[in-house]
Amino acid sequence: MRIHHINCGTMCPIGGRLLFYRAGLPAAQRRLVCQCLLIETDQHGLVLVDTGFGLGDVQRPHERLAGFFRTANGIRLNESETALRQVERLGHGANDVRHIVLTHLDFDHAGGIEDFPHATVHVCDRELSAALNGRQGFIAKRRYCPQQWDRDVKWQTYQLSGESWFGFTCVRDLRGLPPEILLVGLIGHTLGHCGVAVAKGRGWLVHAGDAYFDAEEMDPDGPRCTVGLRLYQRMMEVDRQARLANQERLRNLRRERDGAIELFCSHDATEFASLQASSPKGRFIRSAAPDDITPAI
């Protein structure tokens, strides 16, 4: 598998200094990104982990995105950042994306679903149910935007029960996907929020979605978070106890498995910058033997 780190959305929220107070932080990183993964598998086509904002959001933002979040989050819509355009720049087409694995269904993660009509969309059952039926209250009404996923989407839902990954409840057998990709329960930000763990070498790459927002929250020796990002997480949470407990468990995981776990969240631009630097460049062309692949560029 080849794993690309891509940014499928940029947000410059109101109150920037409260969100990005760190001295010396480069201007380019004083923003929120929407980090997604594009995984080229040998036998299962392309797999996207989260989709950021999609073409429909760029073309019809007023129909698809709540005015409150457009303004408060300072959403900067840019067609070239959509997952579809980035997939195309790597030499693939929309139909090559066969699977989308979602951390959750918030507007800044689910916007690109409809750009990939041949993809099966894998998500926790509680998340889909909350997005379809639980849109009560100011935030819940606005965070989920059914216009982003109300056309023939092939959903595949999972119950988080039974299996365990380093003590986290997980789903190991995602239908049609290789066993190296797992859903890991990280409830709190939303009712069905999950991380996505991808086996990489001898360790794991873990997309923690919105389980945390500030890379320094994961410092096992002294977690910190900017005031603004702490307030934003509180505004968006549905279960504070579970959210904070999961953050603590992620810190423990990092402490105990240092080197074997590469952890990142959706929105921290510093994490994205360092991970993107490690992304492979160009597209791979498969030869007859699935394991024998050669860079095209």
235-264 residues near Zn ion, rule: CB under 5 A: none
Q: Are the beta carbons of 5 and 76 closer than 8 angstroms?
A: no
Question: Is residue 271 close enough to count as binding Zn ion by CB under 5 A?
Answer: no
Q: Which stretch binds Zn ion (CB under 5 A): 19-27, 54-62, 190-198, 210-218?
A: 210-218
Between residues 84 and 110, which has the closer beta carbon with respect to Zn ion? 110
CB of 210 to Zn ion, least distance (A): 4
Between residues 51 and 120, which has the closer beta carbon with respect to Zn ion? 51
CB of 50 to Zn ion, least distance (A): 9
Q: What is the DSSP letter of 268?
A: B
CB of 56 to Zn ion, least distance (A): 18
CB of 106 to Zn ion, least distance (A): 5
Cβ contacts of 165-168, under 8 Å, gap ≥ 24:
165/197, 166/253, 166/257, 167/249, 168/195, 168/249
d(CA 241, CA 238): 9
Between residues 86 and 233, which has the closer beta carbon with respect to Zn ion? 233
Cβ contacts of 21-30, under 8 Å, gap ≥ 24:
21/226, 21/227, 22/226, 25/270, 28/269, 28/273, 29/269, 29/270, 29/273, 30/269
**Half-sphere exposure of residue 227: CA atoms within 13 angstroms, side-chain side:** 6
Structure-token pair, residue 260 = 């074997």
Between residues 9 and 45, which has the closer beta carbon with respect to Zn ion? 9
CB of 127 to Zn ion, least distance (A): 13
**# residues near Zn ion by CB under 5 A:** 3
Question: Is residue 210 close enough to count as binding Zn ion by CB under 5 A?
Answer: yes
Q: Which stretch binds Zn ion (CB under 5 A): 106-114, 136-144, 148-156, 238-246?
A: 106-114
CB of 221 to Zn ion, least distance (A): 26
CB of 207 to Zn ion, least distance (A): 12
Between residues 45 and 192, which has the closer beta carbon with respect to Zn ion? 192
Task: To the nearest 10°, report the CA torsion of 293, 273, 268, 80.
Answer: -70
63-102 residues near Zn ion, rule: CB under 5 A: none
Structure-token pair, residue 279 = 């992304």
Q: Are the beta carbons of 106 and 190 closer than 8 angstroms?
A: yes
d(CA 184, CA 195): 5
Between residues 45 and 209, which has the closer beta carbon with respect to Zn ion? 209
CB of 104 to Zn ion, least distance (A): 8
Between residues 110 and 261, which has the closer beta carbon with respect to Zn ion? 110
List % helix, strand, coil for the chain (3-state, nearest 5). Answer: 35, 25, 40
Between residues 38 and 110, which has the closer beta carbon with respect to Zn ion? 110
Question: Is residue 214 close enough to count as binding Zn ion by CB under 5 A?
Answer: no
Q: Is 115 left (phi over 0), alpha (psi -120 to 50) or beta?
A: alpha
Q: Pick the binder of Zn ion from 81, 108, 217, 268 (CB under 5 A).
A: 108
Which positions touch Zn ion (CB under 5 A)? 108, 210, 266
